[in-house]
Amino acid sequence: MPVSPVPKTTANALETQGIGKRFGGFWAVKDVTFSVRPGERRAILGPNGAGKTSLFNILTGDYAASSGSIRLFGEDVTKSSVPKRIKNGLRRTYQHAYLFDGLSVHDTLFLAVAGLRGGWRQILPVRKSDPRRIEAERLAEVCGIPEFLDRMVSDLSHGQRRQLEIGIALAEDPKVLLLDEPAAGLSPAERPQLSNLLLSLPTDVTVILIEHDMDIAFRTSESVTVLFNGQLMAEGTPDEVMANKDVHEIYVGGTHSE
């Protein structure tokens, strides 16, 4: 494992200042200011269409922010490319598994581990004993699909694809993990496994978790942010947030699918 550059102790892992994303005249995310400490476990709640995934897309650089600024360990990354933010330790999973269907699980995890570093050797076939392949095998173990290493990604079940998503996100020393509804579509039996996986992550990894499943969200997170109509509605400990009248209204009182 490469030694991670120690972030300035004062800097938050992630910090946004009034970020927003506009599609035409519609703000999917509007004026969101929040910060997450290094090592913190944060859940993001909100009804469908609240802007949670859009917020992730802004943080990772998949969407250019229409307003505001983003700091990653104190460094302004608002205008940085996706690969640059990845290099700084930001990782994400996708709500709708977005994977390389034509590759095997092993090759997918290998790519996540190896990237394209290492110069001209990248045109040579990968050897079986390559340490990066071994690391890929370890990741498959961690995310719970070691027996499917040789399977094509297109042949995986929905749940296995979700697990692979997490395996990819865990490659190469992640510092901030953005997980977009990792439990969606999992069977009741698989959900506790996911909670355990999240709880077993190294404590210095910062996790931001979008989750509709309250059980998982509250079991694995120490703080909660609630989004509504693209805006920040409430923030605090799980108890504080659940006591919030507005949150109660939209979340418990109201209906939402999923």
Partner 1 sequence: MRYLIVLIPALLLPFVLTDFWLAQVLTRSLILGIIALSLSFLATYLGVVSFAQASLAGVAGYAIAYFGPNTVGIGVPLPFIVKLPLALLLAMIAGALIGFVARRSRGIYAIMITLAIGVAFFYFTRQNYVLFNGFTGFSGVLPPALGDRSWGDPRPLYYLSLGVAIICVAMVQGFVRSPLGLAVQAVRDAPGRLLALGIPTTFPIIAAFAFSGLIAGSGGILNAWFQERVSSFSVGFGPIIDILIISVIGGLRHPTGAFVGAIVYVILDIFAIDLIDRDRFNLLIGIVLLAIVVAAPNGLQQLAIDWVGALRKRAAKTPAN
Q: Is 82 in the site for partner 1 (CB under 8 A)?
A: yes
Diameter over CA atoms, the chain? 60
Q: Looking at 53-61, 83-91, 157-165, 222-230, which segment touches Mg ion (CB under 5 A)?
A: 53-61
In the complex, the smallest distance separating the C-beta of residue 32 from ligand ATP, rounded to whole angstroms, is: 11
The angle that helices 158-169 and 131-142 make with each other, rounded to 10 degrees, is: 130
Q: Per rule CB under 6 A, is residue 53 in the interface with ligand ATP?
A: yes
48 binds ligand ATP (CB under 6 A): yes
User: Distance between CA 151 and CA 163 in Å, rounded?
Assistant: 14
* 41-45 sheet: strands from edge to edge: 90-92, 176-180, 206-210, 41-45, 223-228, 231-236
If the CB atoms of residues 100 and 190 are measured against partner 1, the closer one turns out to be: 100
Which residues are CB-neighbours of 81 under 8 A, at least 6 positions away?
A: 61
152 forms part of the interface with partner 1 (CB under 8 A): no
Q: Which of residues 178-237 bind partner 1 (CB under 8 A)?
A: none
62 binds, among partner 1, ligand ATP, Mg ion, none (CB under 5 to 8 A by kind): partner 1
State the number of binding residues for ligand ATP (CB under 6 A): 11
Q: Which residue of 31, 62, 75, 190 would you call a contact of partner 1, by CB under 8 A?
A: 62
Closer CB to ligand ATP, 54 or 244, in the complex: 54
Q: Please identify, using beta-carbon distances, which residue of 30 and 52 lies nearer to partner 1.
A: 52
Which helix (H) or strand (E) covers residue 199, if one does?
Answer: helix 190-199
Q: Which of 53, 160, 206, 244 binds Mg ion (CB under 5 A)?
A: 53
Tell me which residue of 164, 140, 15, 190 sits closest to 90, measured CA to CA: 15
Contact 56, 178 (CB under 8 A): yes
Residue 107 engages partner 1 in binding (rule: CB under 8 A): yes
| Binds Mg ion (CB under 5 A): choice among 78, 95, 104, 223 | 95
| Residue 188, C-beta contacts closer than 8 angstroms, at least 6 positions apart | none
Residues 157-176, interacting with partner 1 (CB under 8 A): 168, 171
Nearest to 7 by CA among 176, 141, 157, 168: 176
Cα–Cα dist 134/96, whole Å:
28
The residues that bridge with 70 in the sheet, in sequence order, are: 16
Positions that interact with partner 1 (CB under 8 A): 60, 62, 82-83, 86-87, 92, 94, 98-103, 107-108, 110-112, 114-116, 118, 122-126, 168, 171
Positions that interact with ligand ATP (CB under 6 A): 23, 28, 46, 48-54, 95
